[in-house]
């Protein structure tokens, strides 16, 4: 399956349920169905997640629109 999108997700709902103070953003490539393909990268900051997603999108030649 070919990656067609980069998804940034966070664990804020899980944090509230578990009482965990540490926020984590997950960045992963996905196909048209939204299912992850390959590696899921956890990052600690929103800016780090955006930078990682932008780099990954460039490498996979997936268009992105937040620049």
In a domain, 50, yes or no: yes
Q: Domain range spanning residue 54?
A: 5-60
How many other CB atoms are found less than 10 A from the CB of residue 4? 15
pLDDT of residue 67: 42
As for how many domains the chain has, the answer is 1
Encode the chain (67 residues) as per-residue pLDDT tens digits: 788 888 888 876 655 565 656 778 888 888 888 888 878 888 888 899 889 888 988 888 887 665 4
* Helix boundaries (H) for the chain: 12-18, 46-60
Distances (CA, A) of 27 to 1, 19, 37: 18, 22, 11
Burial class (CB within 10 angstroms; exposed 0-12, middle 13-18, buried 19+) of 11 = middle
Residues 54 and 66 sit within 8 Å (Cβ to Cβ) = yes
> Has this prediction a pTM greater than 0.75?
no
In a domain, 30, yes or no: yes
pLDDT of residue 66: 52
């Amino acid at each position: 399956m070919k990656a067609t999108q980069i998804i940034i997700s966070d664990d804020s709902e899980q944090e509230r349920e578990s009482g965990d103070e540490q926020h984590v953003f997950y960045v992963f490539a996905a196909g048209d169905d939204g299912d992850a393909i390959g590696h899921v990268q956890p990052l600690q900051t929103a800016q780090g997640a955006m930078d990682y997603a932008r780099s990954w999108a460039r490498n996979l030649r997936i268009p992105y629109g937040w620049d």
